[in-house]
A = this chain, B = another copy of it.
Amino acid sequence: MQKLLDGLPKIIESAHGTGGRWTHELIESVFLPYFRSQPLQSLADQAVVPESGTGRMAISTDSFVVTPYRFPGGNIGDLAVNGTVNDLLMGGATPAYLTVAFVLMEGLRVDHLVEIVQSIANAAAASAVSIIAGDTKVVCGKAEDGLFITTTGVGFLPGGVNWGPEFIQPGDKIILSGTVADHGASVLTKRYNLAFDTVIRSDTASLLPAVMAVRDLCGIRCMRDPTRGGLATTLAELSQTSGLTLEAKELCIPIRDDVRGLCEVLGLDPLYVANEGKLIAVVAPDVASTVLSRLQATEVARDAAIIGTVTKSAPGYALLETAIGAKRVLELLSMEQLPRIC
């Protein structure tokens, strides 16, 4: 790392954002060594890339403002790549291209920036996406904010893949790919310097292996990644959009003991805490066991579980059957449980 930093400035200054010589030097010394795609290296104002020829393109954009910008298990860089890649995957698209726009705070440590840029490059490689265009601005914001990153992803949809909440039917099974609330719990412990016996790591990860393992199956109705707002908000949204009832059983929802303990201490409902490497799949009952076993065969979804069923019992509302057998409505997150989480 030290060798990589030789000759670089120690901190970001406002002149790095003026579009002149300093900006060029920052791009050439910090970004280009890691972002090696041909369109990006040409440094034109736009990247030119081939279309895939499949006829349908998926596009997604997200800004990332997480504080702190480094946390156990990841940083804002891999979060920004995985978040946008996963949004494309949830529609069934194969992610292909990514743009990355940075808003850097004056005073940001350049060694932190290099670490984040490396994470971006690694995360992009893991999902086989090319970073083809970027932008850098510098603002005099709050130093502890560090940086904001906006990623936009372009992917391509294979013929025959048409997923969405409008295809959900009564009797469908709800599959969750792993434990809930890891990302939010990780950011929270780091933000407030909470000490526990174990380190809670963010689950930030690409869902590419999980989606590719099941995409060819008929009977997949819809996928979503339950990020901001957590599992409960996603179940509520899907119920609202489909006009049906997504019923989950609390006892079936995987959660780490330390994450559960942290949430209990802090009075947080883990079902509303953000995830960054999990998916919900709503699937036809006859393919549920196949989807489940294929997901469990991937590292990123090894803890996948069937957590519930779609019914018509309370149209438009999501229900949770609690550990003691009571049922409660899962509302959209309405209070500010945990801001600046992604």
Q: Which residues of chain A have a CB within 8 Å of any CB of chain B?
A: 14-15, 17-24, 39, 42, 44-65, 87-88, 90-91, 93, 97, 99-103, 132-142, 145, 148, 150, 152-155, 157, 164, 224-225, 227-229, 233, 272, 274, 331-340
Q: Which 8 A-B pairs have the closest CB atoms?
A: A19-B228, A20-B333, A152-B152, A150-B150, A61-B99, A19-B229, A46-B60, A45-B87
Task: Give the residue name and chain of the B residue nearest to A63 (CB).
Answer: B101
Q: Specify which of B39, B54, B59, B87 is in contact with A49 (CB 8 Å cutoff).
A: B59
Complex contacts, A224 vs chain B, CB 8 Å: 45
Given contacts A46-B90, A56-B48, A152-B99, contact A20 B61 (CB under 8 A): no
Q: Specify which of B102, B157, B227 is in contact with A19 (CB 8 Å cutoff).
A: B227
Complex contacts, A58 vs chain B, CB 8 Å: 46-49
Indicate if the CB atoms of A20 and B51 lie closer than 8 Å.
no
Indicate if the CB atoms of A48 and B103 lie closer than 8 Å.
no
Complex contacts, A97 vs chain B, CB 8 Å: 59
Given contacts A59-B133, A141-B141, contact A45 B339 (CB under 8 A): no
Q: Bound complex: CA of A52 vs CA of B53, how far in Å? A: 9
Complex contacts, A57 vs chain B, CB 8 Å: 48-51, 154
Q: How far is the CB of A338 from chain B (nearest CB, A)?
A: 7
Given contacts A54-B51, A103-B148, A150-B101, contact A61 B134 (CB under 8 A): yes
Task: Give the residue name and chain of the B residue nearest to A45 (CB).
Answer: B87
Q: Bound complex: CA of A54 vs CA of B150, how far in Å? A: 28
Complex contacts, A21 vs chain B, CB 8 Å: 331-334
Q: Bound complex: CA of A139 vs CA of B65, how far in Å? A: 7
Q: What are 24 A-B contacts with C-beta separation under 8 Å? A: A14-B336, A17-B65, A17-B339, A20-B233, A20-B272, A21-B334, A42-B164, A44-B90, A44-B164, A46-B60, A46-B153, A46-B155, A48-B56, A49-B56, A49-B57, A60-B133, A61-B101, A63-B150, A101-B152, A103-B148, A137-B340, A138-B339, A139-B145, A141-B142
Q: Bound complex: CA of A57 vs CA of B48, how far in Å? A: 6
Complex contacts, A90 vs chain B, CB 8 Å: 44-46
Complex contacts, A154 vs chain B, CB 8 Å: 57, 59, 154
Complex contacts, A56 vs chain B, CB 8 Å: 48-51
Indicate if the CB atoms of A225 and B45 lie closer than 8 Å.
yes
Complex contacts, A133 vs chain B, CB 8 Å: 59-61
Complex contacts, A15 vs chain B, CB 8 Å: 334-336, 339
Q: Bound complex: CA of A62 vs CA of B62, how far in Å? A: 13
* Besides A45-B225, A47-B58, A135-B150, 9 new A-B residue pairs in contact (Cβ under 8 A), listed by A number: A14-B336, A18-B338, A21-B332, A46-B91, A48-B58, A53-B55, A59-B133, A63-B103, A137-B148
Given contacts A138-B339, A339-B138, contact A60 B88 (CB under 8 A): no
Indicate if the CB atoms of A52 and B51 lie closer than 8 Å.
yes
Q: How far is the CB of A257 from chain B (nearest CB, A)?
A: 26
Indicate if the CB atoms of B99 and A334 lie closer than 8 Å.
no
Q: How far is the CB of A181 from chain B (nearest CB, A)?
A: 14
Indicate if the CB atoms of B145 and A141 lie closer than 8 Å.
yes
